Amino acid sequence: MGIEFPSQMGLVNAALREGLGDAPASGSDDPRQVVQTMVEGFDRIYETLLQSNPWRFSMKKRAAQQLEFEPVNEYRYAFQIPTDCLMLRGVWPLLTDYEVYGDRIYTNTKPIDLEYQYKIEVGAIPAYFSTLLVCHLALAGARMATGKEGVVAEVKDRIKMVLPIAQYADAQARPNKRIHDPYAAGNR
């Protein structure tokens, strides 16, 4: 049996089954209000969760494209933020002074490279993140499905358990940086 990749409806159904103990949806046109809440809120919940942490699986690095005009302020150069940028996480070289104006970056440094998060296709997200996303979808539907605060509290408790596991798993994609000690043996 091969690996099953998540889909929007697969994640909604997991939230219904695992998070709320409800029957799976027949599709995005399922008439239940809880299903419609999850389906309609899916992109917002997914993007908010991506932006909540610098998840390594959803990061890109690329050279910024310089624009052909000079900004009308203290900066000399303008660069286009990529259209697939969900959240800018870094500008290189480090210590570059810059400001973001809409979909542009103004700076006095050129060239610059960008590190940013993008909205990765749902089918490519890792299992640890899909588990976290399922919990957040369940939270969105918990009040609607049950009307019981106890269920909401249970889902929140599950998120508190799942979040550090997901963050730990994701952090493995970026090893710790070594600290250079000039006084250590061999460094003199």
114-160 pLDDT, tens per residue? 999 999 999 999 999 999 999 999 999 987 766 667 888 999 999 99
User: Per residue in 5-58, pLDDT tens?
Assistant: 689 999 999 999 988 889 999 999 999 999 999 999 999 999 999 999 999 999
* Confidence (pTM): 0.84
d(C-alpha 12, C-alpha 184), whole Å: 54
pLDDT at 188 over 70: no
| Spatial separation of the C-alpha atoms in residues 37 and 150, rounded to whole Å | 19
CA-angle at 54, arms to 45 and 141, nearest 5°: 15
What pLDDT sits at residue 74?
A: 92
Give pLDDT, residue 166.
95
**How many contiguous H segments (helices) and E segments (strands) does the chain have?**
5, 7
CA dihedral 179, 184, 185, 188 (to 10 degrees): 100
Asked whether the predicted pLDDT for residue 164 surpasses 60, the reply is: yes
